[in-house]
């Protein structure tokens, strides 16, 4: 089959039309979907009606699944499904609320970051609660040449312990044991995608210093790179509809949840997460082809 593709943004993102991902897709269809994902970084499927088992089954065909921690936010009976929700039932929170505020890619603060994430919208507020996505292939390509040269071959330090309470003020502080199992990690800033071979700017909210630079200079440079990566021209804003399912590649895209009035409205979503690989340094950067070529 030939996928029907509608661009979401001038440089990245695509809506896949006419495919029932909850159904029995043959290997050829899955191969096309996977190839489209690598070309476009984020894929949108509208009007999806799938059970948690179908959600897990579809994502698993793209690779091994990651079990999110802490486990109390995972769907009972389906540990692969993270519940992103502010819904409370019988005085028990069904999921994690206010997740994903601030630009990041999932798992960037881990030794092996997550390759991809697949989020399904089940209940939404009447307004707000959009998600922003940033094209970090485009951001890398747009960097001034001297900046690209400076970051090529360098790594940034990503720290869960340093920023956990900053980004998750509603959750308890990390215990000493949690800090021990989530030490600071170093990842290449110019990251090569293992399948496309293209180079992305890899720098999210958990980063704060860069090897070879004095701490103060590094923190300022990290802020510059973080702000550059999420400039408006690189950003697609997704306005959710019930039944939307969105698959994104954490190796070449960042995302940021936006607020809504969670004291008045409910938002309930379910997410599966793909295991990743040790990030690859882009020794010789390769820029992604122009959008026209990627759509060919």
**99 — pLDDT class (breaks 50, 70, 90):** confident
- Determine the average pLDDT of the residues in 113-119: 98
227, pLDDT greater than 90: yes
Which band of pLDDT confidence, cut at 50, 70 and 90, is reported for residue 166? confident
Q: Which of 9-18, 66-75, 162-171 is predicted with the least confidence, judged by mean pLDDT?
A: 162-171
CATH number of domain containing 96: 3.60.130.10
Q: Which of 92-101, 132-141, 153-162, 215-224 has the lowest mean pLDDT?
A: 92-101
H/E segment holding residue 60? helix 52-60
> How many distinct structural domains can be found in the chain?
1
Query: Residue 36 to residues 12, 69, 191: CA-CA distances in angstroms?
Result: 11, 30, 20
Kindly tell me if the per-residue pLDDT of 2 is higher than 80: no
pLDDT at 1: 59
Structure tokens belonging to residue 250: 């954490």
Predicted confidence at residue 56, as pLDDT, reads: 98
- Residue ranges making up the domain that contains 53: 4-294
Q: Is the pLDDT reported for residue 226 higher than 70?
A: yes
pLDDT at position 3 is 82
User: What does the pLDDT read at residue 261?
Assistant: 92
* pLDDT above 90 for 252: yes
Q: How confident is the model at residue 188 (pLDDT cuts 50, 70, 90)?
A: very high
Pairwise CA distance, residues 232 & 257, whole Å: 15
Q: What is the pLDDT of residue 164?
A: 86
Q: What does the pLDDT look like over 36-81, one tens digit per residue? A: 999 999 999 999 999 999 999 999 999 999 999 888 999 999 999 9
Instruction: Give the model's pLDDT for residue 291.
Output: 64
Strands (E), the chain: 4-7, 14-17, 42-45, 74-75, 78-85, 88-89, 92-93, 116-123, 131-135, 155-158, 185-188, 190-192, 199-201, 207-210, 235-238, 245-249, 253-257, 268-274, 280-281
Q: Is the pLDDT of residue 293 over 70?
A: no
Q: What is the mean pLDDT of residues 181-191?
A: 95
What's the mean pLDDT in 251-261? 96
**Residue range 164-176: mean pLDDT, rounded:** 85
As a whole number, mean pLDDT of residues 219-223 equals 96
Taking Cα atoms as reference points, which of 16, 1, 5, 80 lies closest to residue 294? 5
- The overall average pLDDT reported for the chain is 94
- For residues 102-128, average pLDDT: 96
pLDDT band at 199; cut points 50, 70, 90: very high
Q: What's the rounded mean pLDDT across residues 205-234?
A: 96
């Amino acid at each position: 089959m030939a996928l029907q593709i509608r661009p979401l943004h001038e440089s990245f993102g695509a809506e896949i039309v006419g495919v029932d991902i909850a159904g029995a897709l043959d290997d050829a269809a899955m191969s096309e979907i996977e190839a489209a994902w690598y070309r476009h970084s984020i894929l949108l499927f509208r009007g999806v009606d799938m059970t948690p088992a179908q959600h897990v089954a579809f994502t698993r065909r793209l690779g091994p699944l990651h079990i999110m921690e802490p486990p109390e936010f995972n769907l009972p009976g389906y540990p692969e499904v993270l519940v992103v929700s502010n819904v409370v039932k019988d005085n028990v929170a069904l999921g994690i609320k206010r997740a994903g505020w601030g630009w990041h890619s999932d798992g960037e603060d881990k030794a092996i970051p997550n390759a991809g994430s697949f989020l399904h919208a089940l209940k939404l507020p009447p307004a707000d609660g959009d998600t922003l996505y940033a094209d970090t292939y485009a951001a890398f390509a747009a960097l001034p040449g001297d900046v690209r040269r400076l970051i090529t071959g360098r790594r940034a330090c990503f720290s869960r312990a340093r920023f956990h309470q900053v980004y998750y003020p509603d959750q308890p502080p990390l215990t000493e044991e949690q800090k021990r199992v989530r030490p600071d990690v170093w990842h290449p800033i110019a990251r090569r995608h293992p399948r496309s071979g293209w180079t992305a700017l890899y720098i999210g909210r958990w980063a704060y210093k860069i090897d070879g630079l004095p701490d103060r200079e590094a923190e300022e440079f990290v802020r510059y790179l973080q702000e550059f990566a999420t400039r408006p021209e690189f950003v697609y804003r997704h306005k959710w509809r019930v039944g939307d399912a969105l698959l994104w590649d954490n190796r070449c895209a960042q995302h940021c949840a936006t607020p809504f009035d969670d004291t008045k409205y409910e938002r309930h979503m379910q997410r599966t997460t793909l295991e990743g690989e040790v990030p690859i340094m882009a020794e010789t950067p390769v820029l992604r082809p122009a959008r026209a070529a990627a759509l060919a």
